[in-house]
Amino acid sequence: MLRCGMEYSDLNHIKTREELKAFVESFEDCPLRQYADKTVFSGGNPTANIMLIGEAPGAEEDKTGEPFVGRSGQLLLKLFGDTGYPRDKVYITNMTFWRPPENRTPTKKELATTHALVLKHIEIIAPKVLILVGNVPAQTLLNTKIGITKLHGAWQKLALPNGTKIDTMAVYHPAYLLRNNTKTPDMVADLEKIKAKLA
């Protein structure tokens, strides 16, 4: 049985997305695993220039095994699609691969168990730009306590353990946009910055 909360160096033997997926699916003792029906590893196009990282799977994702298929995910991908990047032109995953009970926010301890796996995931996909969707991935991966209302729309460099630095932007979580659609224009403006970066 594989243990959780491994160090990044524990993953040196993993070189491909398929190997990482098999490794993730082998976790039997991760805290969230006991509550979820399915492991939700990734979706979209593994060769895409854009990698999106959300918080965690929701109820619909747990049913289908596919990320970003619930109401929030559909809104996010519609906004990206309207900018010229539909689902088949982005790669999508989450900070955790299992749905937390009642769709609650993952705890810091739960996020710590998958942090190294997420970094390895980014390294393997090697996107041109990395988009962090909402507070949880933004604050975790950028190691900050700054909230998304201040973080969103600004380009930063995420340094991976292998020395690679990736252009990274945090954006609003679509669930927030569903509650507060006055922020949708800000989201659209952020997506235009992403499009310009890739042009």
Q: What is the pLDDT of residue 33?
A: 86
Please state, in angstroms and as integers, the Cα–Cα distance from residue 163 to each residue in 72, 99, 157, 158, following that order.
33, 31, 11, 10
Please state, in angstroms and as integers, the Cα–Cα distance from residue 119 to each residue in 7, 36, 57, 101, following that order.
11, 22, 18, 24
pLDDT cut 70: percent of the chain above it: 96
For residue range 61-77, what is the model confidence (pLDDT) as tens digits? 999 999 999 999 999 99
Gyration radius of the chain's alpha carbons = 16
For residue range 101-137, what is the model confidence (pLDDT) as tens digits? 999 999 999 999 999 999 999 999 999 999 999 999 9
Cross-sheet strand order for the sheet of 165-171: 43-44, 90-94, 50-54, 129-133, 165-171, 155-159
Q: For residue 132, which of 69, 51, 49, 40 has the smallest C-alpha distance?
A: 51
Q: What is the pLDDT of residue 3?
A: 45
Phi-psi map region of 31: left, alpha, beta (phi>0 left; psi -120 to 50 alpha):
alpha
Q: What is the pLDDT of residue 1?
A: 34
Q: What is the pLDDT of residue 122?
A: 98
Domains contained in the chain, CATH given: 8-198 (3.40.470.10)
Average pLDDT of every residue of the chain: 93
Instruction: Compute the distance between CA of residue 153 and CA of residue 191 in angstroms, rounded to an integer.
Output: 8
Longest dimension (CA), the chain: 47
161 pLDDT more than 80: yes
Instruction: Compute the distance between CA of residue 128 and CA of residue 179 in angstroms, rounded to an integer.
Output: 31
Q: What is the pLDDT of residue 130?
A: 98
For residue range 12-30, what is the model confidence (pLDDT) as tens digits? 999 999 999 999 998 776 7
Q: What is the pLDDT of residue 2?
A: 43
8 pLDDT more than 90: no
Q: Is 33 exposed, middle or buried (0-12, 13-18, 19+ CB in 10 A)?
A: middle
Q: What is the mean pLDDT of residues 75-86?
A: 96
Q: Calculate the CA 140 to chain-centre distance.
A: 11
4 pLDDT more than 90: no
Q: Which two tokens stand for residue 141?
A: 């991966």
Instruction: Compute the distance between CA of residue 192 and CA of residue 80 in angstroms, rounded to an integer.
Output: 10
